[in-house]
């Protein structure tokens, strides 16, 4: 590297903050990468490329955003934890609401590797500015850490594909702490999709040579029932274009409706047909604030709805949290429920969930027979029996089938033993309905 006339950057950060913000803040690779991608978005990048270099155990995150010059590094980058400055749009782009607030996400690179090299280029520069940071060195330096800045005419060979960028920012994480397995990669793609699909303008992410779909969350195609609030009918139909999904507007408590309207909250809670249609760690209600996930499971501190939770997912837009004083916890675990406004918000969402579960139970009862394996649905004897039932008995049959739904919906191979078990359940249900008064049984179930 060519020394930049011996210019240096001095980072101001307590050593325990490097550990907390660079290591402990992110428990795994996906959220750490998401933080870095969020920084790219805030810098008006339109393309972010994440590339795994297996030959030297490293990872590259590169974007074509504004980049930073030396003076901007001094004023925006080296002091950790100050309020993030608004970026001025460039290349005629519309203004973006910033995803980052405190400027602490930059250290997330230390969650990925023991050291990293930064390369940055602005539109008015023909050279790349570069410097290196090492975790151990920053720990040993105490509250101040100084690194030498260099100027490069060309990027290193392993980064040559990014030389064509007119401007941009590249982080090359080295000595990765954990091997990025296929499962990790799938999890990264899932989290990136969930975190950034709300971006409305020109923004794309490529991870390990695969384009990350940002059009919708993956589970949209599996939803069958949705309760929404804050959205107009046109807005919700634009989100869920599949006419098969049953969509109902929240019609619950008037105080909840007022809270939603007063705070400009928009959201929905929905269910899938079978738990397996929700991938790992997605059976929860996510809160977004200005397009960035503020809480990945807003009701994590509340009593679980057991069976319902494994079928449920939801998304809420609550941009008003940006106006609160530090509503998001520094541990990135979600919204801070010690803040009174957040507590009110969580209680509101819990009540919406309760409303949804009540409605969902009625919906499940109405479609319970349709959820049975096709082989059983079309059984002539079963169809004949169903045709003998009164409306109340059909409703009762649906209720009883939902009680067994956890077994029926198990992600197991539908072999002979499975069909025998389901047949036994249906035979038992038929026997009960045929021999016990419907009104009495419904009272017991309720």
The model's confidence at residue 201, banded by pLDDT at 50, 70 and 90, is low
Has residue 2 got a pLDDT over 60? no
pLDDT of 359-368, one tens digit each?
988 888 888 8
| Higher per-residue pLDDT: 377 or 353 | 353
pLDDT of amino acid 327: 53
Q: What pLDDT score was predicted for residue 134?
A: 92
Q: Quick one: average pLDDT of 69-84? A: 81
Are 167 and 120 a contacting pair, CB within 8 Å?
A: no
- Using an 8 Å Cβ cutoff, are 430 and 404 in contact? no
> How far lies 374's CA from each of 363, 407, 422, 430, in Å?
20, 16, 12, 18
Query: 3-state DSSP helix/strand/coil percent for the chain, to nearest 5?
Result: 45, 20, 35
Per-residue confidence band for 406, with pLDDT thresholds at 50, 70 and 90? low
With 60 as the cut, is the pLDDT of residue 408 above it?
yes
Mean pLDDT value across residues 19-28: 61
Measured CA angle at 16 (ends 11, 20), to 5 deg: 100
What are the pLDDT digits (tens) for 215-272?
666 678 889 999 999 999 999 998 888 778 999 999 999 999 999 999 999 999 999 8
How many other CB atoms are found less than 10 A from the CB of residue 416?
7
Q: Mean pLDDT, to the nearest integer, of 136-162?
A: 90
Class of domain 2-211: alpha beta
User: What are the tens digits of pLDDT across the range 48-63?
Assistant: 999 999 889 999 999 9
Q: Cα 53 to chain center, whole Å?
A: 26
Residue range 316-344: mean pLDDT, rounded: 72
* 113-121/168-176 β-pairing: antiparallel
- Sequence-distant (6+) residues with CB within 8 A of 224 are 244, 245, 246, 270, 271, 272, 273, 367
**Per-residue confidence (pLDDT) for residue 429, from 0 to 100:** 86
The domain locations on the chain are: 2-211, 218-367, 372-445
pLDDT value of position 103 = 60
* Dist CA 287 CA 407 (whole Å): 31
Task: Could you please state the CATH topology (level 3) that the domain comprising 218-367 is classified under.
Answer: Ribosomal Protein S5; domain 2 (3.30.230)
**pLDDT higher than threshold 60 for residue 357:** yes
Q: Rounded CA gap, 92 and 89, in Å?
A: 7
């Amino acid at each position: 590297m060519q020394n930049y006339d011996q210019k240096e950057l001095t980072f101001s950060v307590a050593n325990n903050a490097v550990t907390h913000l660079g290591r402990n803040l992110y428990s795994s690779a996906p959220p750490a990468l998401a933080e870095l991608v969020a920084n790219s978005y805030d810098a008006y990048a339109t393309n972010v490329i994440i590339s795994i270099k297996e030959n030297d155990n490293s990872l590259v995150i590169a974007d074509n955003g504004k980049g930073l010059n030396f003076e901007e590094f001094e004023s925006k980058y080296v002091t950790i934890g100050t309020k993030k400055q608004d970026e001025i749009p460039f290349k005629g782009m519309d203004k973006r609401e910033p995803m980052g607030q405190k400027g602490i996400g930059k250290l997330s690179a230390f969650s990925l590797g023991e050291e990293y090299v930064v390369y940055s280029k602005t539109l008015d520069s023909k050279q790349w500015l570069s410097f290196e940071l090492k975790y151990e060195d920053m720990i040993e330096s105490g509250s101040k850490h100084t690194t030498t800045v260099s100027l490069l005419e060309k990027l290193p060979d392993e980064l040559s594909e990014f030389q064509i960028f007119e401007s941009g920012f590249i982080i090359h994480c080295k000595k990765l702490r954990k091997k990025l397995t296929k499962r990790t990669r799938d999890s990264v793609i899932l989290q990136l999709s969930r975190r950034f699909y709300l971006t409305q303008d020109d923004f794309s992410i490529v991870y390990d040579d695969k384009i990350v779909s940002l059009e919708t969350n993956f589970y949209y195609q599996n939803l069958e029932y949705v309760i929404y609030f804050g959205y107009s009918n046109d807005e919700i139909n634009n989100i869920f274009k599949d006419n098969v999904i049953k969509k109902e507007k929240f019609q619950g408590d008037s105080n909840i409706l007022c809270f939603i309207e007063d705070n400009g909250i928009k959201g929905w809670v929905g269910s899938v047909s079978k738990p397996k249609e929700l991938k790992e760690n997605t059976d929860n209600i996510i809160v977004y604030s200005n397009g960035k996930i503020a809480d990945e499971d807003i009701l994590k501190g509340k009593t679980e709805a057991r069976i319902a939770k494994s079928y449920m997912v939801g998304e809420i837009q609550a941009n008003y949290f940006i106006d609160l004083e530090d509503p998001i916890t520094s541990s990135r675990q979600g919204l801070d429920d010690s803040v009174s406004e957040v507590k009110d918000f969580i209680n509101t969402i819990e009540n919406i969930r309760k409303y949804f579960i009540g409605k969902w139970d009625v919906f499940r009862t109405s479609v319970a027979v349709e959820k049975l394996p096709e082989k059983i649905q079309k059984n002539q004897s079963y169809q004949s029996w169903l045709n003998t039932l009164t409306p109340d008995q059909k409703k009762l049959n649906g209720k009883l089938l939902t009680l067994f739904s956890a077994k029926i919906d198990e992600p197991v191979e539908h072999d002979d033993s499975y069909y025998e078990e389901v047949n036994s359940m249906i035979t038992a249900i038929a026997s009960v309905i045929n021999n016990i008064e419907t009104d009495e049984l419904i009272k017991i179930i309720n």
